[in-house]
């Protein structure tokens, strides 16, 4: 049973229909109607010690920040802003109070930065290791919300930032390497990701975007979700994928495949979105103002996510289906 099968199991046993539930299981957040003009977004993410983080190298304050950041990224991906944060914390019997103080300070800092507040939660003993679950409630204007299921054939596919940095950072942490500026950048991407909250808000307000989501499990899996839910396919070009210059050399030095990091690494918390090609120049203008945006391919009527290993416009390069080749918690 893989992650998608588990989600499907629960999707089919969801209880009564509620009229206010505009979007349930299957997007970055659930969307709940508050009044005619407003929706609330609800997301929930769990980080487990030894699975999602390692206290040997993850400073507690950065983990506090990251716990919120990954949830804020989900709220951003639907065009919203976070309001209220709820924390359920599982701690082993002999947890370190100093660790907890630093963790809470990092979380509080991030609450200030993203303009939201800790409003409740639960504290329990875990059987082993630290387990951090956050629920974040956000808000979005009803006419600005962006879903995964609205990509259309002819749309172009865009991503923010550069990809594969967090995967590189994780690998560097695992190998206990620190070194120069480049490595520090990758490591920081893993330890302390920055969700694209402002950019996402601008994109949602622009009216240019058809479908959007955040990149948490890797482009190969996340874009496949977007395509599946929109009933479309995507073609992306390896030569267009935005990659930091030193990523390839770092990967080579470590005996790793950098394209694997870019496509399947996960935890980049960048945005992937689709927009009709008539808005390409509008988006380019917006990109200049608020950050780095790259067109990586287009949506068509075929199925899945197909990678062309090369540039667009060249004949005879085969398309390779990479759908759902990103991170899966339960893949054997």
Which residues between 9 and 68 bind its own copies (CB under 8 A)?
A: 9-10, 13-18, 20-21, 24-25, 29-30, 32, 34-35, 42-52
Of 95-103, 169-177, 247-255, 290-298, the window that binds its own copies (rule: CB under 8 A) is 95-103
Other CB atoms within 10 A of residue 29 CB = 25
Distance of closest approach, residue 303 Cβ to its own copies, in angstroms: 24
Contact between residue 180 and residue 188 where contact means Cβ atoms under 8 Å apart: no
Distance of closest approach, residue 28 Cβ to its own copies, in angstroms: 9
Contact between residue 147 and residue 22 where contact means Cβ atoms under 8 Å apart: no
Give the C-alpha separation, 273 to 157, whole Å: 6
Give the C-alpha separation, 251 to 271, whole Å: 23
Site for its own copies in 105-124 (CB under 8 A): 105, 107-108, 111-112, 115-124
Distance of closest approach, residue 94 Cβ to its own copies, in angstroms: 9
Record the tokens describing residue 289, joined without a space. Answer: 């103002």
Looking at the Cβ atoms of 101 and 288, the one nearer to its own copies is 101
Looking at the Cβ atoms of 119 and 286, the one nearer to its own copies is 119
Asked if 174 interacts with its own copies (CB under 8 A), we say no
At which residue do the structure tokens 């090609």 appear?
277
Site for its own copies in 132-151 (CB under 8 A): 133, 135, 137
In the sheet that holds 155-160, the strands lie side by side as 211-214, 271-276, 155-160, 293-300, 233-237, 305-308, 319-321
Record the tokens describing residue 317, joined without a space. Answer: 């390069």
Asked if 294 interacts with its own copies (CB under 8 A), we say no
Of 85-93, 160-168, 252-260, 311-319, the window that binds its own copies (rule: CB under 8 A) is 85-93
Among positions 36, 97, 180, 289, the unique one binding its own copies when judged by CB under 8 A: 97
Looking at the Cβ atoms of 9 and 320, the one nearer to its own copies is 9
State the chain's maximal CA–CA distance in angstroms.
62
Looking at the Cβ atoms of 14 and 284, the one nearer to its own copies is 14
Number of residues that bind its own copies (CB under 8 A): 73
Looking at the Cβ atoms of 121 and 179, the one nearer to its own copies is 121
C-alpha separations of 144 from 38, 72, 81, 209 in Å: 10, 17, 12, 10
In this structure, the chain runs to a length of: 332
Asked if 88 interacts with its own copies (CB under 8 A), we say yes
Record the tokens describing residue 278, joined without a space. Answer: 């008539």
Give the C-alpha separation, 154 to 332, whole Å: 36
Distance of closest approach, residue 101 Cβ to its own copies, in angstroms: 7
Among positions 60, 79, 80, 90, the unique one binding its own copies when judged by CB under 8 A: 90
Among positions 60, 86, 156, 225, the unique one binding its own copies when judged by CB under 8 A: 86
Among positions 85, 151, 272, 308, the unique one binding its own copies when judged by CB under 8 A: 85
Distance of closest approach, residue 2 Cβ to its own copies, in angstroms: 10
Looking at the Cβ atoms of 148 and 295, the one nearer to its own copies is 148
> 132 Cβ partners below 8 Å, 6+ apart?
46, 47, 48, 63, 67, 87, 88, 89, 90
Q: Which of 49, 11, 6 is nearest to 30 (CA)?
A: 11
Contact between residue 155 and residue 274 where contact means Cβ atoms under 8 Å apart: yes
Among positions 55, 57, 59, 100, the unique one binding its own copies when judged by CB under 8 A: 100
Q: Which of 49, 57, 83, 26 is nearest to 222 (CA)?
A: 26
Distance of closest approach, residue 293 Cβ to its own copies, in angstroms: 28
Looking at the Cβ atoms of 100 and 317, the one nearer to its own copies is 100
> 289 Cβ partners below 8 Å, 6+ apart?
202
């Amino acid at each position: 049973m893989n992650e998608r099968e588990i989600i499907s199991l629960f999707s089919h046993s969801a209880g009564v229909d509620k009229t206010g539930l505009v979007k349930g299981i299957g997007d970055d957040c659930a969307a709940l109607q508050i009044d005619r003009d407003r929706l609330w977004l609800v997301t929930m993410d769990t980080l487990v010690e030894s699975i999602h983080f390692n206290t040997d190298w993850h400073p507690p304050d950065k983990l506090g920040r990251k716990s919120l950041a990954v949830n804020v990224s989900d709220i951003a991906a639907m065009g919203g802003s976070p309001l209220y944060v709820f924390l359920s914390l599982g701690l082993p019997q002999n947890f370190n109070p100093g660790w907890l103080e630093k963790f809470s300070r990092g979380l509080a800092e991030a609450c200030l930065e993203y303009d939201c507040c800790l409003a409740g939660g639960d504290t329990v003993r875990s059987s082993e290791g630290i387990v951090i679950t956050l629920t974040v409630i956000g808000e979005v204007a009803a006419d600005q919300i962006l879903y995964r299921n609205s990509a259309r054939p002819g749309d172009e596919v865009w991503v923010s930032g550069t990809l594969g940095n967090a995967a590189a950072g994780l690998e560097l942490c695992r190998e206990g390497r620190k070194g120069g500026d480049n490595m520090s950048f990758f490591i920081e991407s893993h330890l302390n990701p920055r969700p694209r909250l402002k950019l996402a808000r601008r994109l949602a307000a622009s009216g240019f975007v058809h479908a959007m989501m955040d990149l948490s499990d890797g482009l190969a899996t996340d874009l496949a979700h977007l395509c599946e839910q929109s009933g479309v396919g995507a073609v992306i070009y390896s030569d267009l994928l935005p990659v930091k210059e030193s990523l390839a050399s770092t990967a080579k030095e470590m005996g790793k495949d950098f394209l694997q990091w870019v496509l399947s690494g996960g935890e980049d918390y960048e945005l992937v979105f689709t927009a009709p090609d008539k808005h390409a120049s509008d988006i380019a203008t917006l990109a200049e103002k608020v950050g780095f945006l790259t067109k990586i391919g287009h949506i068509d009527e075929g199925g899945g996510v197909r990678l062309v290993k090369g540039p667009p416009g060249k004949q005879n390069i085969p398309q390779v289906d990479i759908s759902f080749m990103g991170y899966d918690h339960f893949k054997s």
